[in-house]
Amino acid sequence: MSTAQVADLHERTRITVSLERNPYDVIIGRSMVGEIGDALADLPIRSGTKILVVSNPDVAGPYGDSCMSGLRAAGFNPVLLEIDAGEERKTLQTLSLILDKAQQEGLERTSLMLALGGGVVGDMTGFAAACWLRGIGIVQVPTTLLSMVDASIGGKTGVNHPKGKNLIGAFHQPRLVVIDPLTLNTLPVREFRAGMAEVIKYGVIGDPDLFSRLEEASDLSDPTAMDPTLLHDILVLSAEAKALVVADDEREGGRRAILNYGHTFGHVVETLCGYGTWLHGEAVAIGMVAVGELAVQRGEWSRSEAERQAVLIQRIGLPTAWPDLDIERVLHTLEGDKKVLDGRLRFVMPTAIGEVVIKDDISREQILSCLRSLRA
């Protein structure tokens, strides 16, 4: 279970990811980047601990000094490493840069890594922490909407393989997640919109009220134009939803697979179009529309609700059209997906707004029919 104490926008919201072993908190609050040191000091982490802060130039520029100063003021010993982000950089080569820095700085088993950035920085830094000395602590400080509502919570870490997304990685839960909504003010609008795809996902898989609030909102495409109360609620509701699922199924043995809604087709789009062509959230948006069409064709979802989903995705400014991809290559990529179990491909299928099921009985012919209709 997760618990949230929600006050006004100037207060902190704390959500607990209640794992059986090593539970941790997600703290949401304005100006938290400069107060990360205080948040860490509340944990059993000794003064003087070495912390390797990994970020990218676009984030380290506006937020690096504040983060480092806060850590030093709390008695920690931080060092900053800047790496290039972007899905095309999510490789073993970039991972090696982080591990090389860990070696140069003499990180010990009591040391920490801290990811200050979006999902790519968080995934790679988390994986580096899982690998270094067979596992040291990781703190996630996400600065994109997508990483705030999804990637930073749950312990999935990794890098891409040329033949598939996130095929190399490990489950490595963070010690703490710190979310500062003010960092979204410097986020490019395209990346903010991409993050909204994951928010829509939470509405479809389990929160019809959230989905309705998104439909009723006047502007969801720009954080500076959004109602700040709605943005705060989106962060809290999404983090709570993720925390509940992760606490119930930490290593994706069952229920957690529902979080992959839209991702099976979405990962195909990312892989075959080339990493970096589409942002992750954009590919997920395309994937949600695609699996929605598959569910409609199988008689498991109504056409009207599939259209509601597509309209909301389009209104935010996200893509919905399936790209021009060779169907045989799509099928081959699907067969290599990491969600394949016992040789059977699993899809998270919507049955209503707020309800999904996991299906592994989708035939090759049904996938072909769906892909052909998407290209029509």
Q: In the predicted model, what is the mean pLDDT of residues 39-66?
A: 95
- C-alpha dist (Å) from residue 193 to 120, 284, 316: 17, 12, 6
Convert the pLDDT of each residue in 90-108 to its tens digit.
Answer: 999 999 999 999 999 999 9
Contacts of 363 (CB under 8 A, 6+ apart): none
On whether both 145 and 229 belong to a single domain, the answer is: no
HSE-up (13 A, CA, CB side) for residue 278: 26
Convert the pLDDT of each residue in 249-307 to its tens digit.
Answer: 998 878 899 999 999 999 999 999 998 899 999 999 999 999 999 999 999 999 999 99
Residue 22 lies in a domain: yes
Tokens for 363?
A: 């035939």
Span of 50-64, 118-132, 322-336 with lowest mean pLDDT: 322-336
Enumerate the active-site residues. 134, 156, 198, 242, 252, 256, 260, 263, 267, 280
On whether both 18 and 131 belong to a single domain, the answer is: yes
pLDDT of residue 8 exceeding 60:
no
Instruction: Look at residues 160, 186, 212 and tell me which one is the last residue of a structural domain.
Output: 186
On whether both 94 and 210 belong to a single domain, the answer is: no
Distance CA 153, CA 188 (A): 22
On whether both 150 and 247 belong to a single domain, the answer is: no
pLDDT of residue 148 exceeding 70:
yes
Residue 133 lies in a domain: yes
pTM over 0.75: yes
- Indicate the helix (H) or strand (E) that contains 218: none
Q: How many domains is the chain built from?
A: 2
Instruction: Look at residues 161, 186, 211 and tell me which one is the last residue of a structural domain.
Output: 186
On whether both 206 and 156 belong to a single domain, the answer is: no
On whether both 159 and 87 belong to a single domain, the answer is: yes
On whether both 221 and 134 belong to a single domain, the answer is: no
